[in-house]
Chain A
Amino acid sequence: MEALQRVFGKNAAYLLIGPAAIWLAVFFLFPMLSLLTTSLSDPATGSPINGYTLTWRVDNYVEALGEYWPYMMRSLLYAGIATLGCLVLGYVLAYAIAFKAGRWKTVMLVLVIAPFFTSFLVRTLSWKLILADNGFIVNTLQTLHILGEDGRLLATPFAVIMGLTYNFLPFMILPLYTSLEKIDPKLNEAAADLYASPWQRFTKVIWPLSLPGVVGGTLLTFIPATGDYINASLLGSPNTQMVGNKIQQLFTTAGDYPHASALSVILMVLIVAMVLFYVRRAGTEELL
């Protein structure tokens, strides 16, 4: 620090945060302002080609919410179920990697991130084939009479939620693993020594100590899953559309930027509010 001060003078600290500040201004602040102004513009007088002028039209928000709230609710529901699914599956796997994998630890971690080596889109499309009406899984379930004669998986809420769970699972596993891996195995022994049954050892020691990973993982899963539209559009039907699909349609098909922007802002505010409430409740403010 002293050397830096000699070179840059008293304002060394400001100079050092400069690059980050510029980065934030260009890639976060500016697009955000653009989104906000568009969301308050009159959709009737502007167009995507000629641009919009800010008219403080708050009605955009009222209309967006009035029209699309069911999609908003569906998004929260699907993302919520997918996050829970990721948490259960991810916890088991992260626990196994952290405590039981031994020399296979690195291999297993590489396998967790291996799906990222191919495109998100291609992987989601391949689920379309796996869950297809004449596919192996549907046929087997029909033979076992778990699914009816004309029962299907594709284009159902199940397919969408499963797609979300599948796609965001690594984002749950990695923070969980990081948290679990830091727990001293001796704490488990100490708890056993102090009369805690295996279940109590989990609820009183392992789970509380893994909370930072649980909060981090659920946020990294829930937030992108709520705004996702790929899974719903590839694996779902018109009846399973999420708010992301509506925003996408408003922007690209309808060319109604002000309503699309308003809907985006509503989604963002809603998510930020829920995250703040959640993090406070979990007592993990230091994550923010």
Chain B
Amino acid sequence: MSLADQARGDLKLTGLHKRYPNGFVAVESLDLVIPQGSFFALLGPSGCGKTTTLRMVAGLEEATKGTIHIGDQDITDAKPYKRPVNTVFQNYALFPHLTIAENVAFGPKRRGAKDPAQEVKEILALTELTEQANKKPTQLSGGQQQRVALARAIINRPDVLLLDEPLGALDLKLRRAMQIELKRIQEEVGLTFVHVTHDQEEAMTMADTVAVMNKGRIEQMGAPYDLYTNPQTTFVANFLGRSNLIKGTVVGREGSGADAVVKVDMHGTIATIKASKVHTDSDHGWVGIRPEKVLIQPEGQAIDAPGAALSGAVVVDASYIGVSTDYTLRMPWGQEITCFEQNTGRRGGLIPVGTKVDVSWRPEFAFLLDSAQDAEAGLEED
């Protein structure tokens, strides 16, 4: 009986560690449980260890330390062709000498299926490739090749399907369409998907749970909404979307339970932050606020926010993007912060560059991060 015939279960990585012979540690003592049937995304910049983690699960890379389990089964040392795991490779790695149908039948045939024609037909229908069945991979478009790579893997009904930047080679429009497609297929087949990507939007669109990886470790893990609204490190705050980080000093803690708040002095203005969004014990921290949560109004006009307003900011740049306008503001202490404003039409035009504005936000959207962390961490170098 092959491994693949046995009961499924959660994918469990325990103390998984990868050190290359040249001394580079790609993955550092990773502990992770990915529940059966979930759509899980490993998100991080290139070189963060996400692909190495994936390759260790696939058996294409040997773990230096640690174990990999699916359910109760230890697959750490199993050969790649004996694991109930399949991979959708980054550049698809389709067999150029085989037709689409033969590519898809490759896995079932190796596992001894005499005539997988019926199964192949079903999978090709699911991935909308029926008409391409007898073509060769080079005759297909990028999006179609991507679906072949997916069909070739899911026909085996693996316990875990690994996707290594599967949409990386597609153009933006096709990528968005395939994201929805992938999500639909995952829901239809109900397999555990582990998706590796550096595209935060892709990870958030598709995954139930996103783990943000940096330098071989998981920085933070959770549902996309929680990660975005309550980042715990400057890396996550910057890598997942954008954040304004303003230096502040804790001046008091008030309330208890769900109402507990921390008062922070930012260059003379007191900001209130919910205790559940405070991720530092020290007295100094970064007050974080997402650009679309920043509200601005020309000096003297009322702002729709209950908290204190920072005055004396000047608009130094306004980029009109159609759906929104991207303002850069210089604060009185010299720092530049960003504000995205939806173009609802209420304002009746843009705020001209040079205008003095008041700045505020709703207190529940702010978060406080450790000041020892680099405020630039996770910013993509262009």
Residues of A within 8 A of B (CB): 184, 186-187, 189-197, 200, 204-205, 208-209
Max chain A C-beta neighbours (<10 A), residue from B95, B153, B156: B95
Is B280 part of the contact surface with A, judged by Cβ < 8 Å? no
A36 to B359, CA, bound (A): 98
Chain B, Cβ-Cβ closest to A198: B81
Which residues of A have CB within 8 Å of B156?
194-195
Check A184 against B80 for contact (C-beta < 8 Å): no
Contact present for A195 and B95 (CB under 8 Å): no
13 A-B pairs whose Cβ atoms sit less than 8 Å apart in the complex: A184-B93, A186-B93, A187-B95, A187-B96, A189-B60, A189-B80, A189-B93, A192-B80, A193-B80, A194-B81, A195-B82, A195-B111, A196-B81
Contact with A193, one of B58, B95, B96 (Cβ below 8 angstroms): B58
Beyond A190-B95, A193-B153, 15 additional contacts (C-beta under 8 Å) are A184-B93, A186-B89, A189-B60, A189-B93, A192-B80, A193-B59, A193-B81, A193-B86, A194-B153, A194-B156, A195-B81, A195-B110, A196-B110, A197-B81, A209-B97
Which of A184, A186, A190, A192 has the most chain B CB atoms inside 10 A of its CB? Answer: A190
Which residues from B are CB-within-8-Å of A186? 89, 91, 93
- Cβ-defined partner of B110 (8 Å) among A189, A194, A208: A194
State the CA gap A187–B97 with chains docked (Å): 11
Q: Counting CB contacts under 8 A, is B234 at the interface?
A: no
B222: CB under 8 A from chain A? no
For the complex, what is the distance from the CA of A10 to the CA of B85, rounded to whole Å?
A: 62
- For the complex of A and B, the 9 pairs showing the least CB-CB separation, nearest first, are A190-B93, A195-B110, A194-B107, A186-B93, A192-B80, A193-B87, A195-B81, A196-B110, A208-B97
Q: Which A residues are in CB contact (< 8 Å) with B107?
A: 194-195
When distances are taken between beta carbons in the complex, the residues of chain A under 8 Å from B94 are 190
Question: Which of chain A's residues have a CB closer than 8 A to the CB of B330?
Answer: none
Do A193 and B106 touch (CB < 8 A)? no
Tell which of A192, A195, A196, A204 touches B60, judged by Cβ atoms closer than 8 Å: A192
How far is the CB of B86 from the nearest CB of chain A, in Å? 6
Q: CB of B17 within 8 A of chain A? A: no
Chain A residues near B153: list those with CB within 8 A. Answer: 193-194
Q: CA–CA, A209 to B97, complex, Å?
A: 7
Residues of B near A189 (CB, < 8 A) are: 60, 80, 89, 93
Contact A192 B91, beta carbon cutoff 8 Å: no
Q: Please list the residues of chain B having a beta carbon within 8 angstroms of any beta carbon in chain A.
A: 58-60, 79-82, 85-87, 89, 91, 93-97, 106-107, 110-111, 152-153, 156
Smallest beta-carbon distance A139→chain B, Å: 46
Residues A205 and B81 in contact, CB atoms below 8 Å apart: no
- Given A195-B110, A209-B97, check contact A190 B81 (CB 8 Å): no
- Complex interface: chain B residues within 8 A of A208 (CB): 97
Report the number of A-B residue pairs with Cβ-Cβ less than 8 Å.
Answer: 58
Q: How far is the CA of A264 from the CA of B373 in the complex (A)?
A: 84
- In the assembled complex, the CB of A103 is this many whole angstroms from the nearest CB of chain B, namely 15
Instruction: Given A186-B91, A189-B60, A200-B110, answer yes or no on A194-B96 (Cβ-Cβ < 8 Å).
Output: no
In the assembled complex, the CB of A284 is this many whole angstroms from the nearest CB of chain B, namely 11
> Within 8 Å CB of B87, what residues of A?
190, 193
A31 to B79, CA, bound (A): 60
Which of chain A's residues have a CB closer than 8 A to the CB of B111? Answer: 195
Contact status A190-B89, CB under 8 Å: yes
A189 CA to B55 CA in the complex, in Å?
10
Give bound CA distance, A214 to B203, whole Å: 45
| Bound complex: CA A77 to CA B58 (Å) | 48
* Given A195-B81, A195-B107, A196-B110: A209 in contact with B89 (beta carbons within 8 A): no
Chain B residue with the shortest CB-CB distance to A200? B110
Q: Measured between alpha carbons, how far is A208 from B86 in the docked complex, in Å?
A: 23
* Min distance, Cβ A242 to any Cβ of chain B, angstroms: 37
In the complex formed, the residue of A with least CB distance to B60 is A189
Chain B residues contacting A184 (CB-CB under 8 Å) are 93
Give the most central of A184, A186, A193: most B CB within 10 Å.
A193
A192 contacts B81, CB within 8 Å? Answer: yes
A59 to B284, CA, bound (A): 108
Contacts of A193 in B (CB 8 A): 58-60, 80-81, 85-87, 153
Q: Please name the residue on chain A nearest to B4 by beta carbon.
A: A195
Contact A194 B91 (CB under 8 A): no
Q: Specify the chain A residue showing the minimal Cβ separation from B90.
A: A186
The answer for the CA separation of A5 and B87 in the assembled complex, in Å, is: 53
Nearest-CB distance from B73 to chain A (Å)? 16
* B79 nearest in chain A by CB position: A192
| A contact residues around B82 at 8 Å (CB) | 195
- Interchain CA distance A84-B346 in the complex, whole Å: 83
A195→B158 CA distance, assembly (Å):
11
C-alpha gap A200/B85 in the complex (Å): 18
Asked if B86 and A194 sit within 8 Å, CB to CB, the answer is: yes
In the assembled complex, which residues on chain B have CB atoms less than 8 Å from the CB atom of A191?
Answer: 95, 106
Report the Cα distance A209→B89, complex, angstroms: 19
- Give the one of A184, A195, A196, A208 with max B CB within 10 A: A195
Question: Complex: how many Å from CA A191 to CA B59?
Answer: 12
Q: Which residues of B contact A204 (CB under 8 A)?
A: 106, 110
Bound Cα distance A122, B60 (Å): 49
Question: Are B106 and A194 in touch, CB under 8 angstroms?
Answer: yes
In the assembled complex, the Cα of A208 lies from the Cα of B98 at a distance in Å of: 10
Kindly list chain B residues whose C-beta atoms are within 8 Å of the C-beta of A200.
110
Q: Are B110 and A187 in contact (CB under 8 A)?
A: no
Other-chain contact of A187, B59, B81, B93 (Cβ < 8 Å): B93
A209 touches B96 (CB 8 A): yes
Nearest Cβ on chain B to A111's Cβ, whole angstroms = 27
Bound-state CA distance A194–B108 (Å) is 8
Contact flag A205-B91 (CB < 8 Å), given A192-B60, A193-B58, A193-B60: no
Alpha-carbon distance A130/B91, docked complex (angstroms): 52
User: Bound state CA distance, A189 and B79, in angstroms?
Assistant: 12
Cα distance A204–B95 in the bound complex, in angstroms = 10
A258 to B: closest C-beta gap in Å:
48
